[in-house]
Amino acid sequence: MGSDLFFGAVALMLVIEGVLPFCSPGAWRRVFERALTMTDGQIRFIGLSSMLAGLAMLFVFFG
């Protein structure tokens, strides 16, 4: 059951990440143009914030 849940979560992540480039490729391109101007520290902060938000959601919904 654990591997099914893991692969289901990865599949859902891929679907969600594909929505913006599919629906609005111009906006997706602008997001990456902005990302290119960010410092490494800013990108790390966004990554850390994203991971913490995901962990918080896991604890709220499955904790």
SS3 assignment, position 52:
helix
Percent of the chain with pLDDT over 90: 75
Report the mean per-residue pLDDT for the chain.
92
18 sits in which H/E element: helix 2-23
SS3 assignment, position 63:
coil
pLDDT band at 60 (very low <50, low <70, confident <90, very high): very high
Percent of the chain with pLDDT over 70: 98
pTM to 2 decimal places: 0.73
Whether residue 48 is predicted with pLDDT greater than 80 in this model: the reply is yes
